[in-house]
Amino acid sequence: MIRYAIAANLVLLASTAIAQESGQSLDQAASDPTASLMSFQLQDFYSYRFHNLPGESANRVQFRAAIPFTLAGTRNIARVTVPYITDSPGGVDGLSDITVFNLTTFDAPWGRWGVGAVALFPTGTSGLSAEKWAIGPAAGFSAQAGKVLWGAFNRNLLTVAGDDTRPDVNLSTFQPILNIGLGNGWSTGLSEMVFTYDWDAGEFTSRPLGVKLSKLTRFGTTPVQFTASYEHNFYDKGAAESDTVSFTVKLLLPKS
């Protein structure tokens, strides 16, 4: 369950001015993890089926904030993810470990690329925390062809301190990005789809395939994006989640 919570934490970041400079509309920038767009989002992930655990389910509510800033003339995006487990197969609920991620981005003729770092803080409730401090490099890119946005991200966590009696956290995640604009604020594409490689186990412990549907609308002058998604995890060893549905509300704060 702890590995499930940590892997789930490593999952999109997301200013109208910058979006327009790169030829992006606001709804395209909202789905682009390299766009310098301030956002605050609330997500709910409901895993209604687990491999090898018939009848069990889990639910995670997650807050995520993405804050763009400039440092030494370069654009950065800082993101913090705070997950709260409301239901789990073991019956444990509470705060899980917090992750912090910073990406320095650079423009290219074909899109953007970035490098940065991600860190894991053992802030979780007993039974939901790895009890380990971990940090590692991250890199990714996004490109756009018409209404199609595509790219990929890699993040890595390596244990640097913590409870010596607990297993180390040595994970790499790989996330493909695909978003297709449908017009009128609608878009579709791949779900968050985070593939997780556990270096200690020597295998991918998350092999998802999923789709999403998003709608960008406005409440007054404030743009808000709603997203619904479904994922199936093909990794069927142990107590891995099998099928997950999620719903996301993302508040966007573009520069005026």
Residue 125 sits at φ, ψ, to 5 deg, of: -65, 150
Mean pLDDT of the chain: 88
Residue 183 has pLDDT above 70, yes or no: yes
Strand 148-162 and strand 186-190: the pairing is: unpaired
**Which pLDDT tens digit goes with each residue over 12-46?**
333 333 343 445 678 778 888 888 889 999 999 99
Instruction: Lowest mean pLDDT of 2-6, 8-12, 84-88, name the range.
Output: 8-12
Neighbour tally for 86: CB within 10 Å: 12
* pTM metric for this prediction: 0.86
Q: Is 27 helix (H, G, I), strand (E, B) or coil?
A: helix
Residue 179: per-residue pLDDT: 95
The Cα–Cα gap between 97 and 8 comes to 10
Helix (H) or strand (E) holding 57: none
Residue 55, phi then psi, degrees to nearest 5: 85, -5
Residue 140 has pLDDT above 80, yes or no: yes
Strand partners of residue 84: 61, 95
pLDDT for position 36:
83
Where do the domains of the chain lie, and which CATH numbers do they carry?
2-253 (2.40.160.40)
Q: Quote the pLDDT of residue 28.
A: 78
Q: For 208-250, what is each residue's pLDDT tens digit?
A: 999 999 999 999 889 999 999 999 999 999 889 999 999 999 9
